[in-house]
Amino acid sequence: MESVKSLFREELIFMTDLQTQEEVFAYIGDTLLQKGLVKKGFTESILEREKNYPTGLDLNPVADDMPNVAIPHTETEYCNDKAVVFVKLDRNIPFRNMIEPDRELTVKYLFFIVNHEKNSQTNILSELIEFMTNREHMKKLESLKGKKEIYDFLTSAQ
């Protein structure tokens, strides 16, 4: 099985001060479209999917001081390739909770899954969740400041 760490690309590590889910999704969607990684309609699809199937993950059960994450993704038909896009937000933004959709939580990190292969989505998702629920991994991620540092860590930590 292909490891998730091979799906990270240095040019797909972002640090941003965008303030809403919609702004982040539009920015990432436009960037991925320009790079040919996704098809037209990706941003709309990911926004719609987020409404119906929230992707916020509460990491409080892992440790009280852990930042929450989200794993936005959409159907394979909107993707041309496989990649994981990492976004570190300057300030937390609200997402609905994946486990309790009626509950909102604030998120600091986003791991967008871009995947054009139907049969590998679950594996990517489970590997990402395994990484995120490791307290040491998330503490280390919190300490990293630059894109290169983050990329090097994400591609070696798992």
What gap in Å lies between CA 76 and CA 71, rounded to an integer? 15
Give tens-digit pLDDT for 93-148: 999 999 999 999 999 999 999 999 988 778 888 899 999 999 999 999 999 999 99
Tokens encoding 5: 């760490």
The whole-number average pLDDT for the span 58-80 is: 91
Residue 158 has pLDDT above 60, yes or no: no
- pLDDT > 90: what percent of the chain? 83
Q: Mark 137-151 as b/e (b = at least 16 C-beta within 10 Å).
A: bbeebeebeebeebb
Distance CA 81, CA 28 (A): 15
pTM, 2 dp: 0.94
Q: Which amino acid is at 157?
A: A
What does the pLDDT read at residue 65? 83
What single letter denotes the amino acid at residue 154? L
